[in-house]
Amino acid sequence: MESEKRMTMKRIPETDLNVSEYCLGTMYFGTKVGKSTSFRLLDIFAGMGGNFLDSANKYASWVPGFSGGESETVIGQWLKTRNRTDFIVTSKVGFPYGDIPRSLKAGIIISECEKSLERLGCDYIDIYFAHAQDRDTPAEESMEAFYRLVKAGKVRYIGASNHDIAGLSEADAAAEKYGYRRFIVLQQRYSILQPYMGADFGTQTVLTPEQYGYCRSKDITMMAYSPLLGGIYEHDTPEIPIQYDSLHNRKILTIIREYAKETAYGASQLVLSGISRYHGIIPVVAASSEVHLIESLTPADDCTVKEMMEKIGNTDRFGTKY
């Protein structure tokens, strides 16, 4: 059934990468989501035309009883059942786990990449992300290390996550000065609801309108992680995270939920379509339930998405229409 609903593909500028409009979040594969369910979710994703997989070295070291690398291991095992070149595989380095410190020092980038390749059972990673900004390591050092991996054929392209504009600019300047590969993707926290200004997300960085403008001006592809805010767009999840709790957001939430009832779509599905098709940002979609995943990966039709986005008046903040 799922193979009939194929996602559209989009080209990442300055690359030969054609990625599905939704990326699959695999953070809990091999930990909270067991191997057989993970395989089933990956099969569903591939069956619906998905080819873009999001992972990281540390997924999911914080789950009791696990130490990190489990997500990459499951992806690696599943890829053995497939043709590797049909998929765009990502991983990340930079956050701490186990005895690895938070760092983008050259030695960490190189050694963590080797470990990720081993777990993924791959010769190369398509997009390798700097998972966190490292203000103590010169951008030149990190960018040179990433470039060394590119030259060795172990990494094809690089991306940034949880970076601010200053960090992105420094990395870009180093890449330009020395002829290294530059970041071609930025992955930040993002959803339709916007947190209040200055809201605390710990080590996570929210995509701001300024960053959105920066990426558009530099042709950097944007990805949205945690796009469903843990599932709060649905009626049966009443809690709104404190960073998003405002009268304005409650009003928007009600509009989305009411609009979902009027249409054939689910609220989460509408939100993901709005992020993808209206804001032009690739959502990193995660679900442990097959039903949720199939619904989430089925885009709403363009007219419905446009009408919903206009109803919530979202165009003034990220004013781009597809």
Ligand X SMILES: NC(=O)c1ccc[n+]([C@@H]2O[C@H](COP(=O)([O-])OP(=O)(O)OC[C@H]3O[C@@H](n4cnc5c(N)ncnc54)[C@H](OP(=O)(O)O)[C@@H]3O)[C@@H](O)[C@H]2O)c1
Partners of 187 in beta bridges: 161, 223
Q: Does 230 bind ligand X (CB under 6 A)?
A: yes
Residue 16, judged by CB atoms within 10 A of its CB (0-12, 13-18, 19+), counts as: exposed
Least distance to ligand X from the beta carbon of 268, Å? Answer: 4
**Nearest 10 degrees: Cα torsion 160, 164, 165, 170:** -60
284 sits near ligand X (criterion: CB under 6 A): yes
Nearer to ligand X, 37 or 246 (CB): 37
Q: Nearer Cβ to ligand X, position 49 or 241?
A: 241
307 contributes a contact to ligand X by CB under 6 A: no
Instruction: Rule CB under 6 A: say whether 161 interacts with ligand X.
Output: yes
Collapse the DSSP code of 112 into the 3-class scheme (helix H, G, I; strand E, B; otherwise coil) and give the result: helix
Using rule CB under 6 A, residue 137 touches ligand X: no
CB of 23 to ligand X, least distance (A): 8
Which tokens is 217 given?
A: 């001006």
Per-residue x/- marks for ligand X, 184-203, CB under 6 A? Answer: ---x----------------
Helix residue ranges per DSSP H, 209-301: 209-218, 247-262, 267-273, 290-297
Least CB distance from residue 151 to ligand X, whole Å? 25
Extract the tokens encoding 79. 């890829």
Q: Reduced to 3 states, what is the DSSP secondary structure of residue 21?
A: coil
Collect all residues with Cβ–Cβ distance below 8 Å to 119 and sequence separation of at least 6. 69, 72, 73, 76
Q: Report if residue 54 touches ligand X, rule: CB under 6 A.
A: yes
Using CB under 6 A as the binding rule, whether residue 231 contacts ligand X is answered as yes
Provide the binding-site residues for ligand X, judged by CB under 6 A.
25-27, 54, 161-162, 187, 204, 225-231, 234, 266, 268-269, 284, 286-289, 292, 295-296
